[in-house]
């Protein structure tokens, strides 16, 4: 698609909004302020509260914290927890639904302690609970979900220790429900429960025939990894009954996938789940809960569509489809309305964090020019290319110019390998080639029709801005599953962005780049950014990273975790904010230790070599101490690029 870069100079922030579409994915939390800086409204219930992102960055700099940085807005987390719970409460009231909503937050989506604590705290008035999918998660959930009213839901495959922990929690009076993923788990649970004489609460996960659409559609259907078939559910329920534990069966669970893009999948799943619930109820199993799993999607690209990075519904439509869908089936079947559970993770956490990184350089194919004046006896390819570069602004045969230039550039390389063209001549040809391309690009701007091949010129001539971060650490899904995440500059949006850029990271991996951008007209491979000014920092934000991205990063190139800054707003001053917590990112030592290196040993080895040079007299002792200290400082320092020190 074509980029809509405004050509006139009377650029306004409205134009920037049109270009970047911040409001479309910002969900009321992010917008472009009148001063051209990105503004955050962290609490939907308090629209006067506004934080200027640039001010947050200045404060971070003042505190001496190095970029890149993860910013966490705790108020956004709280606001999302409240929004989901309030949506259920009001819909349940409107529908005259008899059950209540008791949601749980699945910690795998973001297990950071501060995140889980904030969610538990914000969810306390609603008895909002937690979901765990592994033993480590269960251990943490046991310690953090202490509200006796809220649910703890246990999914995933379980071993004996896992089951014992669940039974311990029952003993402590928790509402902890073990969701059976495969039949053999039930045998284990029943055996342990009898042995320890503790009554468990049991859920059965149904393998649904409905498939969610989008990247995770494999979570449903016959080949789904988790869940019981209909015949297994009946067998499991009967087995519990025969063991005198029929009344332990409390919950029916299903989860058809994450990031459900199409609301129809939700409607179908609710319908199917409600039917199974109703039949089980009439068989004598008086279940208290129906758990519709996760899947509430995020509109990452702002298109409100069924594209993989979007969704064609809102949170309130999702909630209404669950509540009214359950009610309809239950009323028809004459069974009570069960309490409703959902396990929304992405929807709760995605908005609350973003990554702020600075641009540390730019890469251009045509950045260096050599002297191209004609010399006696030069190769004819140099001469030809010079002619093209000189006439491109006056000729109209664009395609022909493009073809000739490309062909001659290729021929020049062949000739160079055959030792017919010299290195200096090749340099001239390269310079002249790019000059021709820049000329062509200028000429084509005025054209209505641009031949297909020539449309690539914009991309080939675009700058690559080098961002101080690792895609593999901070935006794993953009690489792994082509998830689109919004990227925008955090300031200068009242200036026209004139550079079409792609973004590359500082890893040595050529996959370490972002080349899919959310623009208001669709997804593009380049993003308009501002020209870098010498001596002035330029910061970019990568948004909606709070779900999965925050905690999924890998150790690619040993960059490790980012510095983190937790931002809170002031109740008394709506423009003000404070940074309460700074969590240090990985040091070089940290990441090396994880990979089984011994940083102390490394430092000693380097020091020994330096000492030898000193005793040999090839290094001054004073200088040696300096180098030793420097090596050790680097070991304990941040893994990402440091700004050049001003000397």
Residues near ligand PLP, by CB under 6 A = 106, 108-109, 133, 155, 255, 258-259, 293-296, 343-347, 547
Q: Looking at beta carbons only, is 259 or 507 nearer to ligand PLP?
A: 259
**Residues found in the chain:** 647
In the complex, least distance from residue 293 CB atom to ligand PLP, rounded to whole angstroms:
5
Residue nearest to ligand PLP (CB): 294
In the complex, least distance from residue 79 CB atom to ligand PLP, rounded to whole angstroms:
17
Q: Looking at beta carbons only, is 204 or 526 nearer to ligand PLP?
A: 204
Q: Looking at beta carbons only, is 259 or 468 nearer to ligand PLP?
A: 259
In the complex, least distance from residue 231 CB atom to ligand PLP, rounded to whole angstroms:
22
Taking CA atoms, 185 is separated from 12, 160, 220, in Å, by 61, 9, 20
Q: Looking at beta carbons only, is 287 or 347 nearer to ligand PLP?
A: 347
How do beta strands 175-180 and 201-205 pair? parallel
Q: Looking at beta carbons only, is 49 or 292 nearer to ligand PLP?
A: 292
Are 346 and 67 contacting, i.e. CB atoms less than 8 angstroms apart?
no
Cis peptide, bond prior to residue 68, ω within 30 of zero: yes
Taking CA atoms, 210 is separated from 308, 314, 339, 341, 471, in Å, by 18, 20, 22, 19, 34
The CA-based dihedral angle spanning residues 492, 495, 496, 499, taken in that order and rounded to the nearest 10 degrees = -40
Q: Looking at beta carbons only, is 151 or 591 nearer to ligand PLP?
A: 151
Dihedral of alpha carbons 134, 139, 140, 145, sign: positive
In terms of Cβ atoms closer than 10 Å to its own Cβ (0-12, 13-18, 19+), residue 7 is exposed
3-state SS record for 559-597: CCCCEEEEEEECCCCCCCEEEEEEECCCEHHHHHHHCCC
Give the list of residues 6+ apart from residue 508 with CB closer than 8 angstroms, or none.
557
Distance CA 282, CA 246 (A): 13
Q: Looking at beta carbons only, is 106 or 541 nearer to ligand PLP?
A: 106
Question: Side-chain half-sphere of 538: how many Cα atoms within 13 Å?
Answer: 19
Q: Looking at beta carbons only, is 12 or 209 nearer to ligand PLP?
A: 209
In the complex, least distance from residue 96 CB atom to ligand PLP, rounded to whole angstroms:
27
Pick from 410, 403, 467: which is nearest to 436 by CA? 403
Q: Looking at beta carbons only, is 49 or 347 nearer to ligand PLP?
A: 347
In the complex, least distance from residue 482 CB atom to ligand PLP, rounded to whole angstroms:
17
In the complex, least distance from residue 431 CB atom to ligand PLP, rounded to whole angstroms:
51
Are 449 and 522 contacting, i.e. CB atoms less than 8 angstroms apart?
no
Q: Looking at beta carbons only, is 215 or 561 nearer to ligand PLP?
A: 215
Give the list of residues 6+ apart from residue 588 with CB closer than 8 angstroms, or none.
558, 599, 634, 635, 636, 637, 638, 639
In the complex, least distance from residue 268 CB atom to ligand PLP, rounded to whole angstroms:
17
How do beta strands 249-253 and 563-569 pair? unpaired
Q: Looking at beta carbons only, is 295 or 585 nearer to ligand PLP?
A: 295
Q: What are phi and psi of 362, to 5 degrees?
A: -135, 150
DSSP state for residue 506 in the 8-state scheme: S
In the complex, least distance from residue 294 CB atom to ligand PLP, rounded to whole angstroms:
2
In the complex, least distance from residue 181 CB atom to ligand PLP, rounded to whole angstroms:
9
Helix (H) or strand (E) segment spanning residue 380: helix 380-391
In the complex, least distance from residue 131 CB atom to ligand PLP, rounded to whole angstroms:
6
In the complex, least distance from residue 73 CB atom to ligand PLP, rounded to whole angstroms:
19
Give the list of residues 6+ apart from residue 517 with CB closer than 8 angstroms, or none.
484, 487, 523, 524, 525, 526, 527
Distance CA 70, CA 128 (A): 26
In the complex, least distance from residue 133 CB atom to ligand PLP, rounded to whole angstroms:
6
Question: Side-chain half-sphere of 551: how many Cα atoms within 13 Å?
Answer: 17
Bridge-partner residues for 105, per DSSP? Answer: 130
Q: Looking at beta carbons only, is 223 or 645 nearer to ligand PLP?
A: 223
In the complex, least distance from residue 631 CB atom to ligand PLP, rounded to whole angstroms:
43
Q: Looking at beta carbons only, is 22 or 115 nearer to ligand PLP?
A: 115
């Amino acid at each position: 698609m074509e980029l809509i870069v405004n050509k006139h100079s009377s650029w306004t922030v409205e134009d920037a909004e049109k270009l970047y579409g911040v409001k479309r994915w910002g969900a009321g939390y992010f917008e472009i302020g009148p001063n051209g800086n990105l503004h955050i409204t962290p609490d939907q219930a308090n629209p006067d509260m506004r934080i200027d992102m640039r001010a947050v960055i200045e404060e971070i700099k003042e505190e001496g914290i190095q970029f890149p940085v993860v910013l966490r807005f705790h108020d956004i987390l709280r606001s999302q927890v409240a929004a989901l719970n309030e949506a259920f409460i009001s819909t349940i009231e409107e529908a005259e639904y008899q059950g209540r909503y008791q949601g749980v937050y699945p910690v795998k989506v973001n297990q950071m302690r501060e995140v889980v604590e904030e969610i538990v705290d914000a969810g306390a008035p609603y008895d909002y609970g937690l979901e765990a999918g592994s033993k480590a998660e269960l251990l943490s959930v046991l310690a953090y979900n202490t509200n006796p009213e809220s649910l703890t839901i246990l999914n995933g495959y379980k071993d004996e220790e896992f089951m014992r922990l669940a039974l311990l929690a029952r003993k402590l009076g928790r509402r902890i429900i073990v969701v059976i993923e495969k039949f053999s788990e039930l045998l284990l649970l029943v055996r342990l429960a009898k042995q320890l004489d503790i009554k468990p609460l049991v859920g059965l996960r149904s393998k649904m025939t409905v498939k969610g659409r989008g990247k995770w559609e494999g979570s449903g259907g016959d080949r789904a990894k988790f869940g019981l078939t209909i015949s297994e559910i009946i067998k499991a329920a009967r087995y519990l009954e025969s063991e005198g534990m029929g009344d332990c069966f409390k919950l029916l669970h299903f989860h058809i996938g994450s990031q459900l893009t199409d609301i129809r999948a939700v409607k179908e799943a609710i319908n199917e789940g409600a039917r199974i619930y109703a039949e089980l109820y009439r068989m004598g199993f008086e279940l208290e809960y129906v758990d519709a799993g996760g899947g509430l999607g995020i509109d990452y690209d702002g298109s409100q569509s069924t594209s993989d990075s979007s969704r064609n519904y809102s949170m309130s439509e999702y909630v209404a489809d669950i509540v009214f869908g359950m009610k309809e089936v239950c009323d028809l079947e004459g069974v009570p309305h069960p309490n409703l559970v959902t396990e929304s993770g992405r929807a709760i956490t995605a908005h609350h964090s973003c990554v702020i990184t600075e641009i540390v350089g730019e890469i251009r194919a045509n950045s260096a020019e050599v002297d191209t004046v004609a010399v006696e006896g030069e190769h004819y390819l140099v001469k030809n290319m010079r002619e093209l570069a000189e006439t491109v602004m006056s000729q109209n045969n664009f395609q022909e110019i493009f073809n000739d230039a490309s062909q001659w550039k290729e021929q020049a390389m062949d000739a160079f390998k055959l030792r017919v063209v010299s290195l200096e001549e090749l340099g001239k040809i390269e310079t002249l080639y790019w000059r021709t391309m820049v000329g062509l690009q200028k000429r084509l701007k005025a054209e209505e029709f641009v031949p297909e091949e020539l449309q690539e010129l914009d991309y080939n001539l675009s700058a690559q801005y080098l961002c101080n971060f690792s895609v593999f650490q901070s935006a794993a899904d953009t690489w792994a599953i082509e998830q689109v995440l919004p990227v925008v500059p955090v300031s200068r949006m009242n200036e026209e962005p004139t550079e079409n850029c792609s973004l590359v990271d500082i890893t040595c991996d050529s996959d370490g780049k972002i080349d899919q951008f959310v623009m208001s007209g669709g997804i593009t491979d380049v993003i308009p950014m501002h020209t870098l000014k010498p001596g002035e920092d330029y910061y970019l934000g990568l948004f909606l990273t709070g779900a999965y991205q925050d905690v999924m990063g890998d150790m690619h190139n040993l960059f490790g975790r980012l510095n983190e800054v937790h931002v809170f707003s002031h109740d008394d001053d709506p423009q003000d904010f404070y940074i309460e917590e700074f969590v240090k990112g990985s040091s070089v030592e940290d990441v090396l230790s994880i990979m089984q290196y011994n940083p102390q040993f490394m430092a000693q080895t380097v020091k020994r070599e330096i000492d030898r040079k000193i005793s040999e007299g090839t290094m001054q002792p004073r200088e040696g101490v300096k180098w030793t200290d420097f090596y050790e400082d680097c070991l304990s320092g941040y893994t990402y690029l440091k700004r050049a020190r001003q000397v």
